[in-house]
Structure 1
């Protein structure tokens, strides 16, 4: 009775110490090790071990912690929880059945088997003759067991095992709790990483760079040193994406990020700050040092990359801004490095340093983007026309429809500027829709006045490949009842070459409407003669860059003469744009050019003034 009471007291003492252990452990492995130590040192047992079940074909057991015995020797025994001769030990049976098991090393027949000879030798060395294996159940599943060994051969009676099983349940609860904590820690770490690091490249992201830049600036103010910020942009990204797809583009970006990381190692903080943009913050740097590093980075970025079976040349541009010379806060420094990058051109070395006034210009352009949207929707734009005349007869043959925008604050905005803004802001299609509506409306007004005139409307590359373009134009013909010979369309050669097959399909559908089609800026694109012959076009306009120097540049005359002959051989009407002098007019007449357009004839003028100009021209 005294022995039984002593064992119950030992179990209670162990249970109490184990509960305190649950509160102190900071992770799962620490909990297992500390629990084994408490069992031996506080409880007075000879051996304590924890093992986990391995769910492999052999149903092996992995020993996680042990006190009072050598864990390496336990592992060498090759325990199993399978239903075979290796799995009939107390440990294997407890895991397999989910029930507490008591083993007597000296009296149980199973331990007399030669399979357990090594285990018996270990028990003799460690001084235990009886064991109990208590299953550890987590989330309803037995994950392993708590093994305890005692010196007494009759230890672990029913009362003691009952108390120790509570200890095992407490340990299982502690394991589950630690795993939940670890999941929370892992989730928090993942959230933090997603918030501060780019998942594709593993580099810090814009948020992380911003915070580090603010900290670096604070230190720089105290220590009186400068900071350089390089903003890098990978060019041709969207073009490459079309060819190889987004997965291969991701591979390309990872390779470029690796190159940058290798080159920047130990030199500063490299971050991915946009889809194709990277930034490098360099503390204790000056302009010369940052410039040298920028050129090293450009060399790394420009080296061809093997991706998707292709050898790709990823162009890059880098802009530099300095603290405190260019900006004294993180937001401004980032903006100004980005502004400098937009000044850089691959053909000009791909590098630029921020200059004062850039930020104001970009702010103005952003404001203009918003104002342009309002100008389109509220009909603040104006339709202008530039006449075209027959060179041989001087007869007025029609006009090119142009759009002008007079901003309330900034005055007349250059057409090339706001068309580019429209492309960047995604409002080029609404702008084209405005132009079409204005041209058809004006054409109808002239027709109603009994003086029908032909208007030519320019279509951009975005318009040409818009799936609803032809249907919209067909609808406008129906709406206004105009004859198809009163509306022409001009398309640049470069736009046609963006996607030749799709362009040819669109031109064929336009031609089915009965309209005249003209290739604008001819000679500046890359179309071949065989492709030009297949296009359903009616005319070509020789680009002004060849026409204007016609009488002073022999090469220009050769180009213009050849273009006229080519056009006539293909049955096309040839128009020369940029005619600004009588000498050019006369030379074009000698070369047989059909029509002319330019300042010699008329500058672009408001549509309502075209009839007045026409009367004046007839009198000249």
Structure 2
């Protein structure tokens, strides 16, 4: 809960920062937009003033000046009657201030009439505005400093009678009224624009707030899902690894101590098989709550997958860890009822102490796993690692160390056992089988080291080595004209690894191998588990075109519901049912049922352990598709498979 609250606060801080950034960023374009609109409206207001001045000047010229100038020759000046007529026509406008200055000028620039009686001043003849007016155009400008602006209009003077331009009229009109009107309009415009932009900014801010809050919640949710198990709410494997490595690093630096614990539930699969996966999920949630209730604030509990959990108990020695786990064990074992069925679950605990048993997480989890395995084999359900006495069979920890060096020194070799098509026993594929050329113990079969690899992180690099070497060998026999399929065994841990499907796809692309000529054999128990990752990996591999084979079928717990919907291309019948199929009615019934089941699912059937011609003939009559066993060939390096063809005599 504390971690969740911290993450919520972190998400809220992130959302606040995003909102502040977005709000500040959106304010800039809103302000720029307002400034642009303001400048544009000011230009429009000024232009409106010029147009108004030009219209006023046109009225004055047409209604007052032009009639008084009728018949005038401006090159020779005005007569006394014309001057008197001009004064009468303009004195009222000048008196009321609608005209500030008025001059009538000839085309040469001489002033023939002005409202103040002067004959000088005015616009220079060389001024472009005067020249434009003399040529028949009109020019208007707002001149003067702030608060003293006036409108200057220069336009041709047209006689009323002739309609011909006889001179230039130069008018100066007041601008203050127009300016005041423009300012009032600008003020009203500014208010409306400010209100509109404020509303727009408010909308943008609300959208930013909603978006950043949503993004913050989404990011927090994604982070939570990436580091937590969705069923129980506990940290997942990745989160446990990250947190545990931090604690172990601090402990190594400061001399701290504690315990790493692995545990899983006994007979959990029986609950899934009997009551269904929904019941299994409910059970896991109850167990998670009971485990969490026994731990302190500084302890870490995680679900690694399936029914496997991990604990990190800082600051506890062996006695304290065992005492805590005994309480947790009893709490887990308390009876509960699922779907009207009373259950009492038991758990096995393996404990590794740091720094006594190691300082790295990988070493500690291996030793805790070894202790848990030892407990499952014995009578104790809480076992503290004690070196070889609590190790896996065949000194697994030693084998794991040696196997790691074997991968580095390229001590592994691949042999291949042929798979033949029935009934003619023609080789159609081979299965890659790894061997270890041990420097001291000689050539070791896979049973001597694969179990140790399965219970460590070595299974991933081992499988990758086998795939790479086998695809290289396949290129070799393909070059000789042998179009054999290649079968490679993979484990449940491989399917559970996040990058396994991507590795297979990249390796196929790198080697140029055809996906449909590669078959990955998965044990039946790997598909019978409750981990969705294995099923997802199988579906993704099938989508690549890689064949999927269910190995050792009949010995595990696979139900039809597990196989339904999976891209299974092959089902291999375990040798335990094939060895006496020619004489045992029960084996015959089982094998016939498996063949019918596989064909109904659209899969091929391969019988393992075929050693006699009698078994071969029985399988042919039963409709089996392929066979594999010593009758057809023992595992050998692939060139020897190619030089030892089967004969008709072998199977007759």
Q: What range is the shorter-chain TM-score in? A: 0.3 to 0.5
Q: Give the TM-score, by structure 1 length.
A: 0.48
